[in-house]
Amino acid sequence: MNYEKLILKVVSLAEETGKFILGESAHLKSDDIILKGVNNFVTYVDRGSEERLVAGLEKLLPGSGFIAEENSDRTMKEFTWIIDPLDGTTNYIHGIPVFSISIALMEQEDIIAGVVYEINQKERFYTWKGASSYLNGQQIHVSDRKSISDSLFATGFPYYDYTWIKEYLDLFRHLMQHSRGIRRLGSAAADMAWVACGRFDGFFEYGLNPWDVAAGSILVQNAGGLVTDFRGKSNYLFGKEIIATNTHIQSDFISLFKTWSRE
């Protein structure tokens, strides 16, 4: 399989779907917003985006499976697409311009390609097995900052699982005092893409799903970074906890999570 040729077609599909998402933003009404769970929203735009992506990806790779946010019938096959059709729905419905499309390809249990398209800035992040990571055709790399004190971090705030809220706030306090700061974009896919291109030095969050992190994880890794769970292990895709850094600060950063454990 020619991964490069395939993924460049996926990028084009994401761009076309992004046009649909932006075009519908002017027509979105409060009645179009459905509450799936606590602070978890969906609109016809999310579903329309997913339908377009699934149809296009099925044509590109017939017989593949799908794990998609809005489709409860998730089928895993030898090749499986992992899709977030609109990562940052809350931003979208409030008119905040950070939301993205996230598409990853998994072969058996390995992520082998990823695309994150930040719709507002028209930034195309993509990579595939054995390649570097790219932004709009230019190779990107994680930052080279070597200490937490010199680093800027991204995260997402817990919106339904408050199991570790005290520890999370303690970590915020520490990073506010001992780093360059913390940002919250509202799109985990964009957060990880920005780690891959060196804008952020690290990203962490818990309560995420595979479609939130799959594409971003391979973008960070192929840009020279590291991705783990909170214990420095590899259960980040389905384990609902993730750390992504530029490698230099990884061990020091993980030490801040030493009391956080699901074991």
- Positive/negative CA dihedral, 103, 106, 109, 110: negative
What domains sit in the chain, N to C, each tagged with a CATH number?
3-140 (3.30.540.10), 148-255 (3.40.190.80)
CA atoms within 13 A on the CB side of 190: 24
Q: What residues pair up with 100 in beta bridges, in sequence order? A: 87, 118
Alpha helices in 203-249 (DSSP H): 210-222
Question: What is the pLDDT, as a whole number, of residue 38?
Answer: 43
Q: What residues pair up with 233 in beta bridges, in sequence order? A: none
Question: What is the pLDDT, as a whole number, of residue 37?
Answer: 46
Question: What is the pLDDT, as a whole number, of residue 200?
Answer: 98
Question: What is the pLDDT, as a whole number, of residue 69?
Answer: 80
Question: What is the pLDDT, as a whole number, of residue 39?
Answer: 41
pLDDT by residue (tens digit) across 96-109?
999 999 999 999 99
pLDDT by residue (tens digit) across 29-71?
666 565 554 445 567 888 899 999 999 999 999 999 999 987 7
Low-confidence ranges of the chain (pLDDT < 70): 28-42, 72-74, 259-263
Question: What is the pLDDT, as a whole number, of residue 168?
Answer: 86
Residue 178 has φ and ψ, to the nearest 5°, of -130, 15
Angle between helices 44-60 and 3-24 (to 10 degrees): 160
